[in-house]
Amino acid sequence: MKQTIPFDEMDRLFESMRRSMLGGSWMAGDTNLRLEATDDGYLVHADLPGFESDELDVRFDDGVLTIDAVHEVEDDDRSRSRRIHESVRVGADVHIEEIEAEYHNGVLEVRLPVDEDHDGGHRIDVN
């Protein structure tokens, strides 16, 4: 069952605005970053064609998954690079030790398992 992630559309809008303000020199194409809920957590897909797996830096810190990638090409008389920076906030308790990532045929998949028993907060009784 696919769930709608709150503020997902707003995050995409802000990301689009950020890209247009920074211009094409920082972003070279859309990664089509997608976050979807699964039965055991979340699955993140990012289209990153043209990169090698050792050019990817994937981190999860303080509820945010960040993907940085740099591909540099040097010709005889010039060099050029392609850089990607993407991030997505995950509003759940992720089991950090169990995060898995695979990169195959230009597609990065990151599995973010969550604590199924945790309801996302702690109830506080008011006297």
Render pLDDT for 5-49 as a digit per residue (tens, 0 to 9).
Answer: 566 666 666 666 655 544 333 333 467 889 898 889 999 999 998
Is 91 a residue whose pLDDT tops 90? Answer: no
Letter for the amino acid at 23? G
- Reduced to 3 states (helix: H, G, I; strand: E, B; else coil), residue 107 is strand
Task: Say what the pLDDT of residue 23 is.
Answer: 38
Who wins on pLDDT, 124 or 34?
A: 34
What is the pLDDT confidence band of residue 121, given thresholds at 50, 70 and 90?
Answer: low
Quote the distance between the C-alpha of residue 26 and its chain's center. 17
How many other C-beta atoms lie within 10 A of the C-beta of residue 112? 23
pLDDT tens-digit map of 56-77: 999 999 889 999 999 888 877 8
Does the pLDDT at position 1 exceed 60?
A: no
- Residue 119 CA to residue 33 CA, distance in Å, equals 26
Dihedral (CA of 3, 6, 12, 13) sign: positive
Task: Locate 26 and state its tokens.
Answer: 């920082």
